[in-house]
Chains A and B, each alone.
Chain A
Amino acid sequence: AQSVTQPDIHITVSEGASLELRCNYSYGATPYLFWYVQSPGQGLQLLLKYFSGDTLVQGIKGFEAEFKRSQSSFNLRKPSVHWSDAAEYFCAVGANYGGSQGNLIFGKGTKLSVKP
């Protein structure tokens, strides 16, 4: 069965520092992978996605993620964090695309705090 693990529950970084959020997935075939961001009291917004091709994908707000099949990872990075990046981040993998089910399986999230 598909699963997603985000090992870090909470991360604090200083404004201007680099950021890497970890995500590991379990899936038998080539996965569809996503990162979403959720600001407090808001819904989820898609940051970026990977489904084929170049393993380094660019997203909105200066984020990027790299798909590494050998490590079953899809880590999210940003070279310089801004205070407005404080939010909760969710990694997700697409489930059962060969059939009719198209839902995503989400990790439990990583909450990012940004120090001034």
Chain B
Amino acid sequence: NAGVTQTPKFQVLKTGQSMTLQCAQDMNHNSMYWYRQDPGMGLRLIYYSASEGTTDKGEVPNGYNVSRLNKREFSLRLESAAPSQTSVYFCASSVLPGQGILNTGELFFGEGSRLTVL
């Protein structure tokens, strides 16, 4: 059972370059999320997709775009990378409460993508 898979695991970019982080889940979850994790800041929501075909901004969306390609896949794009986007990025998925027995909204996380912008 793969769960949530993120690629790449590591990436180094120069300021102004673009890149896309890929995320796929095989748990048939409706909702998917992108978080960033910075020291002392915990996890902050960048964008989320409550269901296929919808995306919404989270707490820190500036400088990012997302695409919910299908139910399985949710990508995060940096159009023009900045040093402030150096972070560890986590993709997660969930089934919303009420959408099934014992579904209590917990998130299932990928292993993270460490991005450094020089």
Contact indicator per residue, chain B 57-90, by CB within 8 Å of chain A (1) or not (0): 0100000000000000000000000000000001
Among B40, B104, B107, point to the contact of A9 (Cβ < 8 A). Answer: B40
Among A41, A42, A97, point to the contact of B97 (Cβ < 8 A). Answer: A97
**How many A-B Cβ pairs are below 8 Å?**
68
Chain B residue total in the interface (Cβ 8 A): 29
Q: Tell whether A106 is near chain B: CB-to-CB under 8 Å.
A: yes
CB distance from B102 to the nearest CB of A (A): 9
Among B4, B42, B45, B94, point to the contact of A108 (Cβ < 8 A). Answer: B42
Among B56, B105, B107, point to the contact of A97 (Cβ < 8 A). Answer: B105
Q: Which residues of A contact B (CB under 8 A)?
A: 9, 32, 34, 36, 41-46, 49, 51, 90, 94, 97, 100-109
CB distance from B25 to the nearest CB of A (A): 13
Known: A34-B106, A46-B106, A97-B97. A103 touches B58 (CB 8 A): yes
Closest to A51 in B: B104
Known: A100-B51, A102-B94, A108-B40. A43 touches B109 (CB 8 A): yes
The 5 closest A-B pairs by CB, nearest first: A108-B42, A43-B109, A100-B50, A106-B43, A102-B96
Which residues of the other chain, A, contact B90 by a CB distance below 8 angstroms? 43-44
